[in-house]
Amino acid sequence: MQLHQSYKMELDVEKIRKDFPILARLLNKKQLIYFDSAATSQCPRIVIDSIKGFYEKHNANIHRGIHKLAEESTLMYEEAHQKVADFINADFEEIIFTKNTTEALNLLAYSLLNDLKENDEIILSQMEHHSNIVPWQQLAKLKKVKINYVKVTEEGKLNLIHLKSLINEKTRIVSITHVSNLLGTINPVKEISEIAHEKNIIFIVDAAQSIPHMKVDVKDIDADFLVFSGHKMCAPTGIGVLYGKKVLLEKISPFLYGGDMIKEVTFENTRFNDLPWKFEAGTPPIAEGIALGVAVDYLNSIGMENIEEYEDKLTQYLYKKLKEQKDVKIYGPEKRSSLVSFNLYEIHPHDVATILDSEGIAIRAGHMCAMPLVKEVLNESAVCRISLYFYNTKEEIDKFILALDKVRKVFGK
């Protein structure tokens, strides 16, 4: 399969959709409409083939053997690191492959453990995914550190005035999501970076929901660390990325020990490997890492600017269509990334999702791994979420809007 030629263009979505074999599937004798890409995006054939090709032709461990297969695997795996580095404007040594965003955040929490002392403070926000709350909570209990949460406005945006008021001489870390996985809010991470760095505070960005949909430049943001997952950007599951400034990665200790993160071992001591391998213990997800590099090639061939522009129009269309429904409540600001969370009055989100599934439409229902935001800020038990990607269409949105009538009919609304 040839990659698309990248230049400023109107996306040929029907051509793109043919790259994704799963989109041809029928569910309940209806064409699959996949509206759950914020949870996991679909893989194009070229990525699927790369995994199959690795195991058929190159399968060997990296950085160990001197035979041909080992050399090929090592080269392909290291090339994937470079592709990811170029994708976010980082250096090769600054890209660490992890299992996912969650593991990357855990790595950071435990690697920064020694830099924190009792009564230090960490700033998160009320719109964080559990993965950017729970590791810091556990760290706070262990080190007796305090966590402060930036409030979310009624519109669904971060209250930057409140953020500034939380910063003091005890603040050591600010860790904020770039895009809310529930509200769709695009946070001004560059501005937050400037606020944090004025006080020499470490700034961490959870980019799991932004990297797939927009061009992200870590140098422009000036993030100290940034994390994301492959499975939300056309790559397989089991592969994620931690970016860190080289000077900081050299200072902090590894989270996992053994295997490939070793340079030399004696019975008394161990010397750790150079970056980025210092943080990649044991046999890594080689096939998945290589496939992530292929996914980056695929996204680049379409063009991140083209993807962002197309999805922005698609999201505005979805937002407008839902806004026209008198019994629908939408959460989050009008200007947003490519997802919309909503509730249909007096009908539980799980019921909505179940009936839509019978129509071949896959959406997410629940707390979106953002339980504090749903329960304590929105005062809901659950919400429905439609998350779009560049392989979705206005026609699919129209079918979804019509399917809401079936939901209403089932419940006599």
Q: Which domains does the chain have, with CATH numbers?
A: 13-44+303-410 (3.90.1150.10), 49-300 (3.40.640.10)
* pLDDT grade for 258, boundaries at 50, 70 and 90: confident
Q: Which two tokens stand for residue 284?
A: 């890594």
- The closest of 178, 177, 207, 216 to 88, measured between CA atoms, is 216
Contact by Cβ (8 Å): 310, 286 = no
**Confidence check: pLDDT of 143 > 80:** yes
Q: Catalytic residue at 369?
A: yes
Stated as kind and residue range, the H or E segment containing 389 is none
- Rounded to an integer, what distance in angstroms lies between the CA atom of residue 394 and that of residue 185? 22
**Confidence check: pLDDT of 218 > 90:** yes
* pLDDT grade for 8, boundaries at 50, 70 and 90: low
Give the angle 363-367-370 at the CA atoms, nearest 5°. Answer: 120
DSSP for 316-373, please give it.
HHHHHHHHT-TTEEEES-SS-SSEEEEEETTS-HHHHHHHHHHTTEE-EEE-TT-HHI
Percentage of the chain exceeding pLDDT 70: 98
Indicate the average pLDDT of the chain: 95
- Rounded to an integer, what distance in angstroms lies between the CA atom of residue 392 and that of residue 388? 6
Contact by Cβ (8 Å): 177, 206 = yes
Give 362's strand partners. 34
**Confidence check: pLDDT of 9 > 80:** no
The pair phi, psi for residue 163, each rounded to 5°, is -55, -50
Model confidence over 316-340: pLDDT tens digits? 999 999 999 999 999 999 999 999 9
Higher per-residue confidence, 220 vs 65: 220
- The closest of 327, 311, 331, 336 to 390, measured between CA atoms, is 311
Q: Which two tokens stand for residue 105?
A: 């955040």
Please report, for the chain, how many H helices and E strands are present, in that order.
Answer: 14, 17
Q: Which position among 43, 234, 369, 384 bears the catalytic label?
A: 369
- Rounded to an integer, what distance in angstroms lies between the CA atom of residue 227 and that of residue 211? 9
* Global confidence as pTM: 0.95
First-residue to last-residue Cα distance in the chain: 48
- Rounded to an integer, what distance in angstroms lies between the CA atom of residue 240 and that of residue 404? 35
DSSP for 9-37, please give it.
----HHHHHTT-GGGG-EETTEE-EE-BT
